[in-house]
Amino acid sequence: MQTPLGMEMLERVQNICRTLPEVDQIVDGFGHDVMKVRGKTFIMMGEGHNSALPSLSIKATKEQQFLLLEQGGYVKTPYIGHHGWVSIDMEVGPNWEELTGIIQEAYLLAAPKRLVKQVLESGIIN
């Protein structure tokens, strides 16, 4: 991330993920900042050549995706949206309070069952 808006978005996502155990941040082969839990991706962020705005894509179930798309403020992620992924409609702008819960849910989808159980029992995620 290089733009001020992209850096702010990255910092906010990092702050949310900092509370979650075993999250790794990497830069993938396409230059996206990616958040993973035990090797499974649950967030992808980037700044593309097609838009001046950064992108934030989040793993979701198809049911969650449907509800978020209906609600507005989200779009189906190109190329991987058919797997349930959603992206923030950056023209609308992110609702960070709502996104905290959505990111936590994405983490739980990607994390192994034992880790999910541990996290839920610890109260890290309500």
Q: For residue range 18-67, what is the model confidence (pLDDT) as tens digits?
A: 999 999 999 999 899 999 999 999 999 999 766 778 999 999 999 999 99
Check whether 93 has a pLDDT greater than 90.
no
Residue 98 lies in a domain: yes
CATH value at residue 79: 3.90.1150.30
Q: Which helix (H) or strand (E) element contains residue 103?
A: helix 96-110
Tell me which residue of 17, 9, 11 sits closest to 108, measured CA to CA. 17
Q: Does residue 22 fall inside a structural domain? A: yes
28 located within any domain? yes
Residue 39 in domain: yes
Task: For residue 109, tell me if it sits in a domain.
Answer: yes
- Tell me how far apart the alpha carbons of residues 126 and 120 are, in angstroms, rounded to a whole number: 7
> Per the structure, how many domains does the chain have?
1
Is residue 126 one of the residues assigned to a domain? Answer: no
Residue 124 structure tokens: 């890290």
Q: 115 is in which domain, residue-wise? A: 4-121
pTM: 0.93
At residue 126, the pLDDT reads: 74
